[in-house]
Structures are given as structure tokens and as C-alpha cells.
Amino acid sequence: MDRDRILLTPGPLTTTLRTKLAMLRDWGSWDADFNALTARVRHSLLSVVQGHDSHVVVPLQGSGTFSVEAAVATVVPRDGHVLVLDNGAYCKRAARIATLMGRRCTVLPFDEAQPVDPQALAQSLSADPSISHVVLIHCETGAGVLNPLQAVADVCQQQGRGLIVDAMSSFGALEIDARRTRFDALVAASGKCLEGVPGMGFVFIRKAVLDGCAGNSASLAMDLHDQYVYMEKTGQWRFTPPTHVVAALHEAIVQFEAEGGQPARLARYTANFRALSEGMAALGLRPFLEPAIQAPIIVTYHAPAHPAYDFKRFYAAARQYGFLLYPGKLTQLETFRVGCIGAIGPNDMRQAVDAVARALTDLGIPPGRPDA
């Protein structure tokens, strides 16, 4: 094979050569050039959400989940009460995080094939004034559901509760405007729709609640308030930063801005999604979600109801043709997932569909009749 395999996953993603090349330089973690690089990245991130007036952004080493955990532990007081809106696997992970952080946690469950219901949230908040914060997964990539961020934010604002948003798979692609949507914290990461490499998360924290976050975290390394104060004072990270990841993210953001920012990124991913949907439909593969609630980020497909189907063999066959798929995350149904994001376009998606067709043939499953 004369090219890297294309990652059809929700992260890590396929990156451009320019982004890869940005990691070939070594940086001193306290060097003025690296401090300036970090500052430029933070400024650019705030621009994506129009958040310069209302929020600060705090980067953190590690995967996106590290930053979700840090956000809950930093923003929610130790005697706070978290309500998690649960319609998928990553919602359940957020609830586990809140519990492990020692916060009282309540889960409001929804069907994993449906978005969360703002009216049900309003009723829950009215019934329990002890709830201090709500956690929402913007795009629940367990199934690919797009949740109604604006409506949830409006309910939280009306009832005076804090909102923590996991925007891991949506930030940079789906519109998020801090001037219109109030949130206390919003979490994303380098290796998602900005098309950087994994290894760094970042959390937007509303300035109005920032001072109240001091002392909430029981962790030294994951205290976002302490990280913010130190970074503002010195320009440096408190502990060894992921220098190459930051450099790659900076280069990825340069390309993101040159492409046209969030609207252009969304347009390309939507075109990817359409190419994928048309091709997979021709193969007889059925999406799990209804189109109205499907985000153009990652698509869950029903596994073929064929005795020859086995995900590991299917994955290995598709991999042989240059594409890495993603296993299903649903508990009740056999599924697999295909990502539409990364440094790829509609032609790549059509090639991916061809790889899926070839993989099915290799397994002895007739394309067009996978359930036969």
C-alpha cells in the first residue's frame, strides 16, 4: 500500500502531511517560542466559539476524557450535584467520572436512538433544586446522535444551573457560539474536528464562574483553575507539555482557518456524510438513526444479519483495502461505526464504501443483500 490507511473513526483522525510535518521540530517547554505558540493556539480556540469576552480556555495534557474529568472536578463544587443527560456510552462515562470525583450524581436516561429532551430536563431541575450542574454530550458518538445544545443551555440558564458540555466530537465542525449559548465549561480535544493529533484537551470556562473554581479540584495535575492561573502568570504549562501535539494543533488550526473555519469544515463533513450514506444504502446497509437526529460526524450501521458476518473479520478485510472502521458502541444491537471526519473528502468516502463492498464479498456476504 502506497499511502497511510484512512481512519474512519471519531478520533484519532487522518491528518494532513503539513500537520504531520509540524511535529518534526523539538521545542523547549519553557522556551519563549513555545510559550508564544501556546498563546496563539489558545487565542485561536477562543475565536472558534466567539468566546474572547465571556470565557477563558485552559489546555491540558492527555486525551479528551482527561479534560472532561478535569472540568467536572474543577467547575463543580465538592458539595455540588451533577445531573447527566444520558443517551449513550459517553454520557455514562461522564456520570462515572462525576461519581469517581466524589460529586453527587443523578442520571436522567433517554433512548440511545433519540436526542435528550430539554422539557424533561426542565422538569427534573424544577423538581430538584439541589442540582447545581448539568452535563450534556453535544454529539453522542456512541450512536451518532446530535443533542440540542442551545435548548439545553436555555433551560439551564432559565433555572440558574451550570452547564458542562462535552463537545469532543462537535467542536470545530458544528456551530457553537458563546455569545448566544451560555455554558460554564465546554470540553474538546486536539485530535478531533480540528484535525490535529491526539494528546491534548482544552476546556473553555466562563469568566463569571472562574474565581469560584479555586480549590474545587482534589487533583494537582488536573486542576484547571491552577493551570489557568499559572499559565496567565508565566505563559508556561505547569508540567511538561505535549510540545509536538501543540505544534501540530497550531498547524491544523492554520489550515482550519484557511479552509474557511467552522462553516467550511461542516460543509466538507456533510459532503462526506452524504457520499457515505448514498454508497452504504446501495450496499443495503441500514443506519441506526433517523436522518433528522444524525450528526455528520460518525454514522452507526446495523451489522449485516448474515451468518458469515463477524466484526473482527470484517474490520480486517476493510483494513486490507486501506480503511480503518470503528466497532459499535451500542449494548443491545450488533453495529459498526464509520466516521465522516478528518482530513478526507467525498472521494475518500466513496473509496471507503468500495472497501466495505469488497470486505463483505471477502466474507461471503453479497453486497446489496447483506441481510440475506
In what order do the strands lie in the sheet containing 298-302? 298-302, 335-339, 326-327
Q: Each residue of 331-345: pLDDT tens digit? A: 678 999 999 999 999
Query: CB-hemisphere CA count at 13 Å for 111?
Result: 6
Is the bond preceding 12 in cis, omega lying within 30 degrees of 0? yes
Residue 213 per-residue DSSP state: G
**Angle between helix 346-362 and 261-282 (nearest 10):** 30
Question: How many Å apart are CA 364 and CA 65, to the nearest integer?
Answer: 39
Q: Which residues of the chain have pLDDT under 50?
A: 1
User: What does the pLDDT read at residue 1?
Assistant: 46
User: What does the pLDDT read at residue 330?
Assistant: 82
Residue 60's SS3 state is: strand
- For residue 24, the one-letter residue type is L
Question: How many Å apart are CA 164 and CA 144, to the nearest integer?
Answer: 19
Measured CA distances, 125 to 22, 114, 120, 188 (Å): 47, 20, 9, 26
**Angle between helix 64-75 and 224-234 (nearest 10):** 100
User: What does the pLDDT read at residue 276?
Assistant: 98
For 6-10+261-362, the fitting CATH number among 3.40.50.300, 3.90.1150.10, 3.10.20.30, 3.80.10.10 is: 3.90.1150.10
pTM for this structure? Answer: 0.96
Nearest to 293 by CA among 94, 112, 83: 112
Provide the residue ranges of all domains of the chain, joining segments of one domain with +.
Answer: 6-10+261-362, 17-258
User: What does the pLDDT read at residue 3?
Assistant: 66
Residue 238 per-residue DSSP state: S
**Considering Cα of 265, then 270, then 273, then 279, what sign does the dihedral take?**
negative
Question: How many Å apart are CA 140 and CA 148, to the nearest integer?
Answer: 11
CB burial readout 326-344, b (16+ within 10 A) else e: bebbbeeeebbbbbbbbbb
Phi and psi based region of residue 261 (left: phi greater than 0; alpha: psi -120 to 50; beta: remaining): left
CA-based radius of gyration for the chain: 21
Find the length of the chain.
372
The DSSP string of 292-325 is GGB-SSEEEEEPP--TT--HHHHHHHHHHTTEE-
Question: How many Å apart are CA 20 and CA 23, to the nearest integer?
Answer: 6
Phi, psi of 92 (to 5 degrees): -65, -35
Q: 17-258 adopts what CATH topology?
A: Aspartate Aminotransferase; domain 2 (3.40.640)
The β-bridge relationship of strands 139-140 and 145-146 is antiparallel
Which cell goes with 101?
Answer: 470525583
Element (H, E) at 332: none
- Same fold: 6-10+261-362 with 17-258: no
Nearest to 71 by CA among 192, 219, 180: 219
